Amino acid sequence: MASSSSPINRQPNESDLDEEEDDQNPNELECFDDFTVASSWERLISDVEAVCRQWMADGPINLKEKGAEFLDSRRNLYKVKRELKYSMKLYCMEYYFEVFKDDKTEPWDDDLHKIQLSFGVSQFLVIAPLSASGVVLDAPESSKLLSAVATALSNCGSNWPAFVPVHDPSRKAYIGIQNMGTTFTRRFDSDRIGSQVPVRLMHMEGLYELFVSKFALSSIDFSTTFIEVHCTMKLTYRTPPYDEDDDGDGENLETEDKESKGDTDGINHIVSQWDDDYPWAEWYSAEDPVKGFELTAIWPSKIFEGSLEMAELENASSFDAEKWLIYLIVSPNMIDDSLGKLTGFASQLYLLVGALDKSFEALFLEDFTSAENMGSDNSKSTSSVPPPTAVDRILKELFHEGGQSSNYVQLEHKKSRVIKGAPLDSLFAQFCLHAMWFGNCNIRAIATLWIEFVREVRWCWEESQPLPRMSTDSSIDLSTCLVHQKLQMLAICIQKKGLLDNFHSSNKSKGQISDENKSDFQNAGNHCHDPVHEHSPDDKNCSYLIPNGHDGTENATVSVNPSHGIASDEQRNVNTSRRGSARILESSTLLHSFQKMHAPYTQEAPPMTEDMHEERLRAVEAFGDAFSVSGQLERDILSSDMSAFKAANPDALFEDFIRWHSPTDWENDETGDRLRDDKMEGDNSWPPRGRLSQRMSEQGNSWRKIWNDSPALPVSEQKPLFDPIREGEKILHYLETLKPQQLLEQMVTTAFRASADTLNQTAFGDWKLMKTKLDQLYLTLASTLKCFQGNHSLEKSELIGDLFQLCRVFEHIEKLLILAASVRRKLLDAPRLSEAIFNDYFNYYLPKMGTSSASICYDKEFNTKQLVKLRERDAVASLFPPPTANQSWRKVLSMGNLLNGHEPALREIIFSVYDTLSDNHYGSSNSSDITGDIETHRMYICGTSNDLQVALSVTSWD
């Protein structure tokens, strides 16, 4: 930049504001008077020259390093400015330059500055007054100002074009000049018609005639004169808005409907939303992030020789254009990063985290609903509770319209199970989603809804009604949250309690309950258990798998109807001397007798929730038994199996039980077995030769001790391993006394997981960037929510802060996913193009996805266009449906080049004429080193039927 001693940076004083006679100050006796800059106009020339010389000496790269302003363009356009003084006014001179010039610039490059596009220049100067209008309203002043800048640039040997804004600011008019060496000078002029555009200038033929009239020497007949004019055209089409009625048609139609249908129009006019069939539509209706598309059709530069050819170009189809470019118009809310700006899962999760913050204030949920603790918050809308009818509606949807449990896995993301919540279609997950939209999702509303929810669960228990949306598998999913585990356990208890109720009611009608029926029910109620292969019975039949015998025969199956609790007659009569026998194992024989081994009915391992496992582990540690922890946990089950085996096989030894229950702990003698097999048919060689494994043959083996202590009892006479009545009451007590903090922590985890799984069902075309972000979301959720799986050491403020940041991350993904769904649907027949458009926006939005405000770039605009391939043009054209008859007569189609009946929203044309440098008035003796053609006239036209801007540049030989 200029030094502090330069005329530009000196401090102004009163002598600087006077004319030539005031420059001589008697107090400055040794001051040098430069009479070449005596006037203010000459001083302006000197100041402009000094600044321009400094900018030229620095060059673009140094100017950039010194803090030039970047204008957000891929063409690396920068700007520097300096204030100047002329007479009594201050001016600002701006220099626009490109750091890396591209000689292959397309005429319709979207990154061009408006002056670059209008006049066909690259780097340029703009000098304007520092005033409210920013334009020079006085014509002599503008001419003098432009002349001063041109003189200064000529003194510097610079060919930068210079422009001065003139006239009224609404006209966006400029005048300019460019010195092109010592031979040529280019002059620029532009203006605008903001209303009442002449009809002839709305059409290509009239615009062509306007351009030719600027260089024609006499009045000619344009229709018969052939002048070679280069012309290139760019048309911009905008799709009709998707969420608004067209030009007030809806308002008029609504008035007509009211007159004709009276009060029934509210029933007949149910407007469907754009996202009615998307997975989130059950919970909220999202604003369509796609507000429309802009289609740009570009015609290449061609030579036209008459106005009739221009008329043909106006009637040409848009499909004849050389290039189609499409641009996505997004909702302003997609740019604004304020959390909660849009109604969605993220905004409700934000409220739910706020409820978690409040949950630390009380020990019981009833404290938030009692009248004594309402206080002044009762009047606040944020703490309001919806009426009882809203609670009843939610409970009806959960318990009476919820249906049966579905396949959780099909609704989950592959990484969803790492989040310790509840499956999406489960009862607790649906409760959490409903609670998010219940009132304002405040702690009072959640507490009210939870209390009523638990009451409904207790009613299901007391009436033996199955819990909706809950699986009755005997195995509890320990990867889920504890509330879901408890509800799953309660569903199992209700099922077993229902079997017991049905059994008593059916036998009571017969007069008495026989011991045989009691035994049958005990077998059915406890189910059968395969010690080798775990098997869960279905709802209708319980299949008992008999384990392999020593001869390797496959398992056999016995079917029992649990509703009756008795086996078939064929199975009952196998061997009446054995108690609790399910089937004879033909391939296995007891070691010390010739009797066949019987597989007994066994009790199924009781289901346990996570806290029950922890309770048993703590009991084992406190008891200090010699058994290992794993052996102690299975001791009751193992003792039951041994008692049942002894009852079914009175002559059995411990080795026989091992051969049946744990075949891997029995080591066969292969040589002895082969000899036995050879003689089996002849002399029934017995017993088989083998031995217990080292683990089972050790002194003081725990299994042998249990065997010795276990009585011979069939399962019908054993104490049940699982008491559904007792466990069910314990679960209800847990639900009714759950602390607010414990409930809200599990609700937050489940709500995040269920919301993510809901969005994951959205069809967006398996786009790679979106799938990657979804995968990252699940990993982020699992990492952040992991603190709830144990006694977290985070402070309350840090925990809540992390969750709020997680809400922000979730909102970013939710926005992008809804955008992906909308773009895909609108361009369903052009999958490559729709994904490319989304990828462009994704890359634009990526810097905004940080959790800190420093990563947000509000000043950037999304303006990336995608090239439309030829095979994709039909799909893009379908975005412009033909206007209805009602829309057609309302609109006046003033321009041609219609696309499905839609006129261009903007038409841009560049006319240009070239001439050689010899044999005409453009040639001179000083231009012998210049070859080729020169653009003598250029006109840029940008307009619609209501607005027209024209920019003209003329090259002359001075």
Interval 145-169: pLDDT, tens: 999 999 999 999 999 999 999 988 9
Per DSSP, 869 falls in state P
Cα–Cα dist 229/212, whole Å? 8
Sequence-separated (6 or more) residues with CB below 8 Å from residue 437: 283, 284, 348
Q: What is the pLDDT of residue 674?
A: 46
Interval 760-801: pLDDT, tens: 999 988 899 999 999 999 999 999 999 887 666 678 889 999
Cα–Cα dist 506/512, whole Å? 10
Residue 58 has pLDDT above 50, yes or no: yes
Tell me the CB-side half-sphere exposure of residue 722, using CA atoms within 13 A: 27
pLDDT, mean of residues 290-294: 94
Q: What is the pLDDT of residue 411?
A: 57
Per DSSP, 426 falls in state S
**The tokens of 527 are what?**
């189910």
Q: Pick the last residue of a domain from 156, 171, 194.
A: 194
Helix axes 724-736, 482-508, angle to 10 degrees: 140
Q: What is the pLDDT of residue 17?
A: 38
Q: What is the pLDDT of residue 265?
A: 43
- For residues 805 and 851, the answer to whether their CB atoms sit within 8 Å is yes
pLDDT, mean of residues 363-381: 65
- For residues 137 and 175, the answer to whether their CB atoms sit within 8 Å is no
Sequence-separated (6 or more) residues with CB below 8 Å from residue 566: 520, 523, 524, 560, 572
Cα–Cα dist 487/405, whole Å? 12
pLDDT-based confidence at 841, cuts 50/70/90?
Answer: very high
Q: Pick the last residue of a domain from 655, 685, 713.
A: 713
* Residue 566 is assigned to a structural domain of this protein: no
* Residue 60 is assigned to a structural domain of this protein: yes
Q: Are residues 460 and 479 in the same domain?
A: yes
Cα–Cα dist 656/662, whole Å? 10
As separate numbers, helices (DSSP H) first and strands (DSSP E) second, the chain gives 30, 20
pLDDT-based confidence at 626, cuts 50/70/90?
Answer: very low
Question: 10 or 615: whose pLDDT is higher?
Answer: 615
Q: Are residues 81 and 93 in the same domain?
A: yes
Q: What is the pLDDT of residue 774?
A: 94
Least confident of 300-314, 535-549, 796-810: 535-549
- For residues 822 and 290, the answer to whether their CB atoms sit within 8 Å is yes
Q: Are residues 362 and 458 in the same domain?
A: yes
DSSP 493-521: HHHHHHHHHHHHHHHHTTS---HHHHHHH
Residue 854 has pLDDT above 50, yes or no: no
Q: Which of 286, 442, 246 is closest to 887 using CA atoms?
A: 246
Interval 714-755: pLDDT, tens: 988 888 888 899 999 999 999 999 999 999 999 999 999 999
Q: What is the pLDDT of residue 190?
A: 95
Q: What is the pLDDT of residue 578?
A: 80
Interval 702-712: pLDDT, tens: 889 999 999 99
Interval 445-500: pLDDT, tens: 999 999 999 999 999 999 999 999 998 877 899 999 999 999 999 999 999 888 87
Provide the number of structural domains found in the chain. Answer: 4
Provide the 10 A C-beta neighbour count for residue 513. 14
pLDDT-based confidence at 688, cuts 50/70/90?
Answer: low
pLDDT-based confidence at 116, cuts 50/70/90?
Answer: very high
pLDDT, mean of residues 369-385: 59
Tell me the CB-side half-sphere exposure of residue 919, using CA atoms within 13 A: 5
* Residue 766 is assigned to a structural domain of this protein: yes
Q: Are residues 80 and 218 in the same domain?
A: no
* Residue 27 is assigned to a structural domain of this protein: no
**The tokens of 489 are what?**
């356990």
* Residue 535 is assigned to a structural domain of this protein: no
Residue 893 has pLDDT above 60, yes or no: no
Mean pLDDT score of the chain, rounded to an integer?
Answer: 79
Question: 41 or 426: whose pLDDT is higher?
Answer: 426
Q: Pick the last residue of a domain from 167, 194, 221.
A: 194
pLDDT-based confidence at 1, cuts 50/70/90?
Answer: very low
* Residue 652 is assigned to a structural domain of this protein: yes
Helix residue ranges per DSSP H, 262-380: 265-268, 307-314, 345-359, 366-369
**231, 295, 297, 330, 940 from 236: Cα distances, Å:** 17, 6, 6, 17, 16
Cα–Cα dist 815/289, whole Å? 8
* Residue 265 is assigned to a structural domain of this protein: no
**368, 369, 376, 382, 445 from 373: Cα distances, Å:** 6, 7, 9, 15, 14
Q: Are residues 168 and 204 in the same domain?
A: no
Q: Which of 257, 261, 285, 268 is closest to 344 using CA atoms?
A: 285
Q: What is the pLDDT of residue 341?
A: 66
**93, 121, 147, 154, 791 from 80: Cα distances, Å:** 8, 17, 21, 20, 59
Q: Are residues 360 and 460 in the same domain?
A: yes
What letter represents residue 188's amino acid?
A: F
Provide the 10 A C-beta neighbour count for residue 206. 16
Cα–Cα dist 166/727, whole Å? 88
- For residues 876 and 292, the answer to whether their CB atoms sit within 8 Å is no
* Residue 509 is assigned to a structural domain of this protein: no
Least confident of 38-52, 797-811, 910-924: 910-924
Least confident of 491-505, 579-593, 909-923: 909-923
Q: Are residues 315 and 364 in the same domain?
A: no
Whole-prediction pTM = 0.78
Q: What is the pLDDT of residue 110?
A: 82
pLDDT, mean of residues 663-674: 70
* Structural domain of 774: 345-370+386-400+415-500+726-830+844-848
Q: Are residues 358 and 307 in the same domain?
A: no
Q: Are residues 129 and 188 in the same domain?
A: yes
Q: What is the pLDDT of residue 917?
A: 63
Q: What is the pLDDT of residue 687?
A: 60
**98, 115, 844, 864 from 75: Cα distances, Å:** 7, 14, 17, 13
Which pairing describes strands 229-238 and 184-193: parallel, antiparallel, or unpaired? unpaired
Q: Which of 738, 739, 731 is closest to 486 using CA atoms?
A: 731
Q: What is the pLDDT of residue 373?
A: 55
Element (H, E) at 614: helix 610-623
Q: Are residues 64 and 174 in the same domain?
A: yes
Strands of 706-794 (E only): list them.
none
Residue 840 has pLDDT above 80, yes or no: yes
- For residues 490 and 467, the answer to whether their CB atoms sit within 8 Å is yes
Interval 857-885: pLDDT, tens: 445 678 889 999 999 999 999 999 988 76
Question: Bridge-partner residues for 915, per DSSP?
Answer: 934
**596, 762, 878 from 825: Cα distances, Å:** 68, 11, 12
Residue 425 has pLDDT above 50, yes or no: yes
**The tokens of 95 are what?**
């220099």
Q: Are residues 137 and 211 in the same domain?
A: no
Q: Are residues 905 and 800 in the same domain?
A: no
Question: 128 or 679: whose pLDDT is higher?
Answer: 128
Per DSSP, 762 falls in state -
